[in-house]
Structure 1
Amino acid sequence: MKIKQITQNKKQFLELLLLADEQESMIDRYLERGEMYVLEEDGVKAVCVVTDEGDGLFEIKNLATDPLHQRKGYGRKMIQEMFSHYQHKGHTMLVGTGDSPLTIPFYESCGFVISHQIENFFLENYDQPIFENGKQLMHMVILKKYLKYPPLFPIICIMV
């Protein structure tokens, strides 16, 4: 298993990217400014795009696994590698996903916790309704995971 960064011709993986983000114009908003990685094991199994949101904050904008290879640990492995890679560059990783009972538990099992929700995100930003497991997605749920321990409040010691 090998994870490598893709710096050119990122759209060659569009079919896979569309599994996680169903509208190409939305992918275009982050693809070129993001860092893209592919996980290979006898062919490409998963892709991930991470953006630098500034001040030590990174966001997974797209994580997709080939449907023939889902539920085999490739997505989890990709997330673990992203944590390892970005912990030296920042303090927090975010991921936004639909308000779906399929994806939220996966991210929680990878150590993310729900941070907040962007109301009506999918209704206001996508041309067509997006459905997952028969449910129309409306809100984007933002999850976060600290790449390093959260900053501590300064402790003041007074010696008497």
Structure 2
Amino acid sequence: MHLQTIHHHKKEYLLLLLQADEEESQIDTYLNRGTLYVALEEGRVIGVAVVTEEKEGVELKNMAIDVPYRKQGYGKQMLEQLFDYYKGRTMFVGTGDSGLTVPFYEACGFTYSYTIEHFFTEHYAEPIIENGVLLEHMIVLKKDIPL
């Protein structure tokens, strides 16, 4: 698997982006200002990630592996390649408080940073249910990426 940076026509990857962020209007807030990476395996797009520059470091705003390729290590591989791109920086990621994704990011070296109370219930038009749980708070994790 390798990552390719996409500079134009980023909305062509909307269906994959929506797997990680269910509301297009939220994706619109970061897609154009962020760097979009697509994960390719044997010429197929199997995943996406969007990273933005922030005051405190960089933020992983969106990361999704297409359903047929999940649970095969591609998400971890994608993160490891992103860590190579952002060596010496701090990377943040915000995720739901359902407990479904937090363990994945923790296994990749992220640690708890802070919570944004009521983020999903205040910023999304429709309720988001993940693993049977209504998402309410955003958990922000961080990782200091060594040089």
- 2:13 is equivalent to residue 13 of structure 1: yes
Match of 2:70 in 1: 70
Instruction: List per-residue Cα deviations over 1:33-90 (Å, max 9, x = no partner).
Output: 00010110131111000000035x0000000000111011111111111111011xx5
Moved over 2 A (4+): none
Match of 2:132 in 1: 134
RMSD: 1.1
**Residues in 2 aligned to 1:133 and 1:34: alpha-carbon distance in whole angstroms:** 28
- 2:109 is equivalent to residue 108 of structure 1: no
SS where residue 99 of structure 2 aligns? coil
Match of 1:121 in 2: 119
**Residues in 2 aligned to 1:23 and 1:94: alpha-carbon distance in whole angstroms:** 20
Q: Which has the larger radius of gyration?
A: 1
What's the offset of the Cα at 1:148? Answer: 2.9
**Residues in 2 aligned to 1:100 and 1:75: alpha-carbon distance in whole angstroms:** 19
Identity, in percent, stands at 51
Aligned length: 146
What's the offset of the Cα at 1:2? Answer: 2.0
**Residues in 1 aligned to 2:50 and 2:90: alpha-carbon distance in whole angstroms:** 16
